[in-house]
Amino acid sequence: GQQLNQSPQSMFIQEGEDVSMNCTSSSIFNTWLWYKQEPGEGPVLLIALYKAGELTSNGRLTAQFGITRKDSFLNISASIPSDVGIYFCAGHSTSGTYKYIFGTGTRLKVLA
């Protein structure tokens, strides 16, 4: 099925470092969602964005809805070991049938 381009694919960082990942699409989206998935579990919603330019924080996480409505980024500040996991973006457009398109995921590993 259709997917968003998400980068980077994977990251190895030192504890305490900041992390940035982004998603881009060829289509305009009206909603962007960011999820974290740990092994053997379902994705957990981190941040939801509904308006172009919107900047939203959830603790050490900050995400923005791009002005062009075709991209979004997620930043994690001062990473800690429990940030390890796979981060997915998901975009939704109101055109056509309702469904979310998922990014390919960013696998994050934090070295203590």
- Report the interface residues with another protein, using CB under 8 A: 1, 3, 31, 33, 35, 40-45, 48, 50, 88, 90, 97-100, 102-105, 107
If the CB atoms of residues 40 and 59 are measured against another protein, the closer one turns out to be: 40
Closest alpha carbon to 21 in 88, 100, 99 = 88
CB of 81 to another protein, least distance (A): 21
If the CB atoms of residues 28 and 78 are measured against another protein, the closer one turns out to be: 28
CB of 76 to another protein, least distance (A): 19
- Residue written as token pair 């309702």: 98
CB of 4 to another protein, least distance (A): 9
- Residue written as token pair 């055109």: 95
- E-strand stretches of the chain: 5-7, 10-14, 19-24, 31-37, 44-49, 55-58, 61-65, 71-76, 85-92, 100-102, 106-111
If the CB atoms of residues 48 and 52 are measured against another protein, the closer one turns out to be: 48
